[in-house]
Amino acid sequence: MKDVTLTGPFPFSAIVGQEDMKLAMILTAIDPGIGGVLVFGDRGTGKSTAVRGLAALLPPIHAVAGCPVNSAHLGEIPDWAQVNDTAIIEKPTPVIDLPLGATEDRVVGALDIEKALTRGEKAFEPGLLARANRGYLYIDEVNLLEDHLVDLLLDVAQSGRNVVEREGLSIRHAAHFVLVGSGNPEEGELRPQLLDRFGLSVDVTSPKDIDTRIEVIRRRDSYDRDPGGFLTEWRPADLALRAQVVAARDHLGQVAAGEPILRDCAALCLALGADGLRGELTLLRAARALAAFDQDLTVTRDHLRRVAASALRHRLRRDPLDEAGSTTRVTRIVEEVLA
Amino acid sequence: MTDSQERWQRVNLALACFALDPAALGGIWLRARVGPVRDRVQKGVEIALQGQILRRLHPGIGDDALFGGIDLAATLAQGHVVRTRGILDENAVLLMPMAERVKAALAARLAGALDAGKGLALIAYDEGAEPEERLPQALADRLAIHLDLADQGLSDAPELALDQSALAAARLLLPHVTVPDHAICDVATVAARLGIRSLRAPLQALALARASAALMGETCVDHADLTLAVELVLAPRATQLPQEEQEAQEAPPDPPHPEEPEKAHEAQDQDQIDLPPLEMLIEAAKAILPPDLLARLQAGRAARQAPAANGSGAVKKGNRRGRPLPARPGRIGSEARVDLVATLRAAAPWQPMRRKATGKTDQLHIRMSDIRLRQFAETSDRAIIFVVDASGSAALARLGEAKGAIELLLGEAYARRDHVALIAFRGDGADVLLPPTRSLVQTKRRLVQLAGGGGTPLAAGLKAGLELALTAQGKGMTASVAILTDGRANVDLAGIANRTQAAADATAMARAIRARAIPALVIDTGIRPTQALASIASDLGAPYLALPRADARSLSAAVDASLNLA
């Protein structure tokens, strides 16, 4: 390992509490195929801190220096890109922010107006999706994003390809990223069709317990005052977690899920009345990633139990009078089915 | 000293603290109308922040100004790309008048820039007249100091005393100020007991306490600094009156850090002598809690639930989607897209002349004035959902009028892009007779089949209305619900005849509709107005109309006027 970095975002392992959110993010880091994570909750609960911390925690990626889509090899560079610097360099896992109100042009990329007007060239200007390839795309206040943009993002996230057909351009490039959306449900909700396409969803609340709150503030304060010292202090914990994630990625292929587990998944989704089959698939994938994280060789009911709420809570039919929230419903059904 | 004078002193201290370390405090949210008082504050800001860059923003600022963009005029003239610097690129203190008009998109961008920790700070002048008009929550959360000077008289607001050299000395001292551990505990506890959920607030309070200590020439945060921090940062954010100590202490100790509370106690014991207890901080907060705290909280909640805050299904006036309009001249900004063909067409006639003028014959000459932007118009369709009582008590006579009103509204629908839906409730449940449609033929056919009779399951009707409204919103329509009933709910959600339960269910469902900010209208068709129905209307947050002898035409007019969406 190289010398210890003295600047960086708040360390992931130093985040106090919020276990659900941290676990969901780690699972998508192990298996990006799980799909995005939706984090709904109060302001100032460390949602964006967690995303940034996670990306810094993950092992750096190797990419072609001048490539706009972070290609791993020269062969993967899309033909429209003019790459001058072909050295393979190590760079941190990209985390791209998608600001609210971003235009479609900025997101998917568009005709490069500068080149078109000044040089008369038809060139493609890559958008945020290109930069997010092989990393994370973070959208704060996803529930306030325009619907057609959310549609588009989820579609690209699922297919892993961004296709641009406009203004005489016909461009496609790889766009494999994990979508992390956050928002405050009091300000608007997502359509059920969109909710369903996020892999995992977690509710975060600010900690109710005074001592936890004090600990959060104490850590944040010492980070703000002496980032270098704080990062050095938490470096071992972050490295241990990174090693665990890397081991889990290698291990993922060997985790077996037996017939009874598949039956359990189906039974859970049936009992909850979750529409479609995406619930079962995500539940299984998340449970498998969790088993890999625990270095287990088989998926057990315990794994299912731990991921069920995150994988299924946003797929239930909404009941306008249910004040208890869907987490409680999922937990109750899980207890019944897996009794 | 009067309250007003004390408040002005706090303003003075707040500005001084802010000037020491603008970036750490994030900024100031100042609620005051334009006037001499605000001018005094503005003058104070200019004195306090002398030597730092001040930039004015306006709520309609575009991305090219914020983040930098292409300077098109220079680019076209010089033939290579010339960029402008964005306001967010340098460590400036941003001043934003009319902050209550900031849109969610701009708020998100500014919040992101403030979070990036590059040394930006924002002073938001909120000129909102109504409690609902206010700075977006996303921004308010990131600005440490909240000041309300709406009622400040000029006589109690003398020139602010800010001394440059004292500020400079304090700025040097600031990095050496330490915060004792018990201060962290106190701030966190006070924040929790005031019901502040965001964890940014206690951190900002600590930063303010630190600045205050430096201002006093001390190297350790003491009680006076914490009191000021509570007054400026925590108290304005309170969402509840401070609860009793016991309740706060009931929370179980955090198992993973068993040693922490003890440490905190030890520290507290050591410093007990020179620091008065936590209660004094709470009292300080209580003393300046606005008297109309509860009313304000409701205003905040209402603002959050206003349909404008809802991204899906609201009225969209964009220039990116919808029916294309002719291209218009304009600047390249972040919002609109350039219509290339129209731009080239505008530039074409000038080519020979420009070639001659510049001497360059091998390239296309495009000037700023040629740029054409695409425009789209998109109107959001509205969906009016009629929830009609078809029970035995209301039925026959009323049903005919409801049918007539629906036909009338649909008759005008083609021109106004209205969709109309019909739900009837009778017996033990509600049926969607007509999903949102604009088809007059289909509607007439379904209306003929509508039969009456049976109990009044009002709750089931409301539930069906809510579900349909949400579906319609999902499709991008603006949905509203019009309820026609005589109000004697006697069948509950489960379909069982039980008056008490039926009334409770109806109330709960009405609140659920209100919580989703769906506009509604209650029309009482009974011979005598019913109290129960008026209370349902207030639960819905909807107007209540008693129309005992309404005919189809007046019903249609009433719906049109009340929903006020035309």
Total residues found in chain A within this entry: 339
User: Would you state the structure tokens that stand for residue B63, as one six-digit string?
Assistant: 């991305």
The pLDDT, as a whole number, for residue A291 is 92
Give yes or no for A324 touching B (CB within 8 A): no
In whole angstroms, how far apart are CA A144 and each of A99, A137, B276, B309? 11, 16, 45, 8
The C-alpha angle A143, A145, A147, rounded to 5 degrees, equals 95
Contact between residue B202 and residue A217 where contact means Cβ atoms under 8 Å apart: yes
B383: three-class secondary structure by DSSP = strand
**Distance, in angstroms, between B531 CA and closest chain A CA?**
24
Tens-digit pLDDT profile for residues B446-475: 777 777 777 888 888 888 998 888 888 777
Please state the domain extents for chain A: 12-204, 253-337
**CATH fold of the domain at A253-337:** Helicase, Ruva Protein; domain 3 (1.10.8)
Can you count the helices (H) and strands (E) in chain B? 23, 13
Q: Which stretch, A37-51, B317-331, B485-499, has highest mean pLDDT?
A: A37-51
Contact between residue B142 and residue B114 where contact means Cβ atoms under 8 Å apart: yes
Give yes or no for A44 touching B (CB within 8 A): yes
Mutate to test the interface with A, among B310, B312, B367 (most CBs of A within 10 A): B312
The pLDDT, as a whole number, for residue A322 is 57
Give yes or no for A325 touching B (CB within 8 A): no
Q: Which are the contacts of A331, defined by CB distance < 8 A and separation ≥ 6? A: A308, A309
Contact between residue B379 and residue B408 where contact means Cβ atoms under 8 Å apart: no
Largest pairwise CA distance in chain B: 90
Place of tokens 């996303």: B138
> What is the spatial distance between Cα B386 and Cα B421, in angstroms, rounded to a whole number?
6
Which is nearest to B407 in space by CA: B378, B372, B450, B377? B450
CATH class of segment(s) A12-204: alpha beta
Which is nearest to B308 in space by CA: B62, B103, B31, B58? B103
Q: A217 and B187 in contact by Cβ < 8 A? A: yes
Q: Judge whether residue B261 has pLDDT over 70.
A: no
Give the number of other Cβ atoms within 10 Å of residue B562's Cβ. Answer: 19
Q: Judge whether residue A324 has pLDDT over 60.
A: no
Q: A211 and B79 in contact by Cβ < 8 A? A: no
Give yes or no for B411 touching A (CB within 8 A): no
Which one from A106, A220, A242, A278 is the annotated catalytic residue?
Answer: A278
State CA A69 to chain mean position distance: 18
> What is the spatial distance between Cα B46 and Cα A306, in angstroms, rounded to a whole number?
56
Q: What is the DSSP letter of B527?
A: S
The pLDDT, as a whole number, for residue A3 is 42
What is the average pLDDT value for chain B, to the nearest integer? Answer: 76
Say which residue, A113 or A270, is predicted with more confidence: A270
Q: What is the 3-state secondary structure (H, E, C) of chain A?
A: CCCCCCCCCCCHHHCCCCHHHHHHHHHHHHCHHHCCEEEEECCCCCHHHHHHHHHHHCCCEEEECCCCCCCCCHHHCCCCCCCCCCCEEEECCCEEECCCCCCHHHHHEEECHHHHHHCCCCCEEECHHHHCCCEEEEECCHHHCCHHHHHHHHHHHHHCEEEEEECCEEEEEECCEEEEEEECHHHCCCCHHHHCCCCEEEEECCCCCHHHHHHHHHHHHHHHHCHHHHHHHHHHHHHHHHHHHHHHHHHHHHCECCHHHHHHHHHHHHHHCCCCCHHHHHHHHHHHHHHHHCCCCECCHHHHHHHHHHHHHHHCCCCCCCCCCHHHHHHHHHHHHCC
Nearest CA in chain B to A142: B311
Which is nearest to A27 in space by CA: A339, A309, A327, A330? A309
> What is the spatial distance between Cα A299 and Cα B330, in angstroms, rounded to a whole number?
60
> What is the spatial distance between Cα B327 and Cα B341, in angstroms, rounded to a whole number?
10
What is the average pLDDT value for chain A, to the nearest integer? Answer: 82
Q: Which stretch, A27-31, B149-153, B536-540, has highest mean pLDDT?
A: A27-31
B447: three-class secondary structure by DSSP = helix
- A301, with CB counted inside 10 A (0-12, 13-18, 19+), is middle
Contact between residue B75 and residue A70 where contact means Cβ atoms under 8 Å apart: no
- Rounded percentage of chain A residues whose pLDDT exceeds 90: 5
The one-letter amino acid code at A324 reads A
B70-102 burial: b if 16+ Cβ within 10 Å, else e:
bbbeebbeeeeebeeeebbeeebbbbbbbbbbb
- B26, with CB counted inside 10 A (0-12, 13-18, 19+), is buried
User: Would you state the structure tokens that stand for residue B174, as one six-digit string?
Assistant: 């600031």
Q: Judge whether residue A190 has pLDDT over 80.
A: no
Q: Judge whether residue B544 has pLDDT over 50.
A: yes
Residue B199 confidence class, pLDDT cut points 50, 70, 90: confident
Which is nearest to B126 in space by CA: B108, B148, B107? B148
The pLDDT, as a whole number, for residue B398 is 64
Nearest CA in chain B to A190: B312
The pLDDT, as a whole number, for residue A184 is 76
B125-149 burial: b if 16+ Cβ within 10 Å, else e:
bbbbeeeeebbbbbbbbbbbbbbbb
The pLDDT, as a whole number, for residue A101 is 65
The pLDDT, as a whole number, for residue A286 is 92
Contact between residue A103 and residue B334 where contact means Cβ atoms under 8 Å apart: yes
Residue B396 confidence class, pLDDT cut points 50, 70, 90: low
* Domains in chain B with CATH codes: 1-162 (3.40.50.300), 171-246+257-314 (1.10.8.80), 323-377 (no CATH), 382-563 (3.40.50.410)
Q: Which are the contacts of A260, defined by CB distance < 8 A and separation ≥ 6? A: none
Which is nearest to A203 in space by CA: A289, A333, A331, A96? A331
Which is nearest to A304 in space by CA: A323, A285, A328? A285
Tens-digit pLDDT profile for residues B93-104: 889 888 888 877
Q: Which are the contacts of A240, defined by CB distance < 8 A and separation ≥ 6? A: A13
Q: Judge whether residue B302 has pLDDT over 70.
A: no
Residue A278 appears among annotated catalytic residues? yes
The pLDDT, as a whole number, for residue A296 is 87
B540: three-class secondary structure by DSSP = helix
Q: A43 and B104 in contact by Cβ < 8 A? A: no
Give yes or no for A145 touching B (CB within 8 A): yes
Q: Judge whether residue B279 has pLDDT over 80.
A: no
> What is the spatial distance between Cα A133 and Cα B278, in angstroms, rounded to a whole number?
50
Could you please report the per-residue DSSP string of B196-240? ---SHHHHHHHHHHHHHHHHTT-SB--HHHHHHHIIIIIGGG-SS
Give mean pLDDT, residues A28-47.
84
Q: A106 and B103 in contact by Cβ < 8 A? A: no
**Distance, in angstroms, between B312 CA and closest chain A CA?**
6
Q: Which are the contacts of B320, defined by CB distance < 8 A and separation ≥ 6? A: A103, A104, B335, B336, B337, B376
Residue B333 confidence class, pLDDT cut points 50, 70, 90: low
Give yes or no for B216 touching A (CB within 8 A): no
Lowest model confidence (mean pLDDT) among A35-39, A44-48, A60-64, B291-295: B291-295
B373 backbone dihedrals φ, ψ, rounded to 5°: -110, 150
Contact between residue A289 and residue A303 where contact means Cβ atoms under 8 Å apart: no
Residue B275 confidence class, pLDDT cut points 50, 70, 90: very low
> What is the spatial distance between Cα B40 and Cα A83, in angstroms, rounded to a whole number?
56
Tell me if A12-204 shares its fold with A253-337.
Answer: no
Mutate to test the interface with A, among B337, B364, B370, B505 (most CBs of A within 10 A): B337
Q: Which are the contacts of B262, defined by CB distance < 8 A and separation ≥ 6? A: none
Lowest model confidence (mean pLDDT) among A61-75, B9-23, B234-248, B529-543: B234-248
Give yes or no for B140 touching A (CB within 8 A): no
- Rounded percentage of chain B residues whose pLDDT exceeds 70: 77
The pLDDT, as a whole number, for residue B267 is 40
Of A186, A187, A211, the CB nearest to B260: A211
CA dihedral A170, A174, A180, A186 (to 10 degrees): 20
Residues of chain B with Cβ-Cβ distance to A147 below 8 Å are 311-312, 476
Tens-digit pLDDT profile for residues B55-64: 888 887 777 7
Complex ipTM: 0.75
Q: A114 and B75 in contact by Cβ < 8 A? A: yes
Residues of chain B with Cβ-Cβ distance to A189 below 8 Å are 312
Interface A-B: count of C-beta contacts within 8 A = 166
The one-letter amino acid code at A233 reads E
The pLDDT, as a whole number, for residue A50 is 87
Give mean pLDDT, residues A89-104.
80
This model's pTM is above 0.80: no
Contact between residue B150 and residue B190 where contact means Cβ atoms under 8 Å apart: no
Contact between residue A205 and residue A42 where contact means Cβ atoms under 8 Å apart: yes
> What is the spatial distance between Cα A223 and Cα A207, in angstroms, rounded to a whole number?
19
The pLDDT, as a whole number, for residue B334 is 53
Determine which helix (DSSP H) or strand (DSSP E) holds B114, and give its type and residue range.
helix B104-115
> What is the spatial distance between Cα B407 and Cα B210, in angstroms, rounded to a whole number?
68
Residue A287 confidence class, pLDDT cut points 50, 70, 90: very high
The pLDDT, as a whole number, for residue A290 is 92
Q: Which stretch, A327-331, B128-132, B312-316, B546-550, has highest mean pLDDT?
A: A327-331
> What is the spatial distance between Cα B563 and Cα B480, in angstroms, rounded to a whole number?
7
> What is the spatial distance between Cα A121 and Cα A137, in angstroms, rounded to a whole number?
30
Q: Judge whether residue B312 has pLDDT over 60.
A: no
The pLDDT, as a whole number, for residue A292 is 92
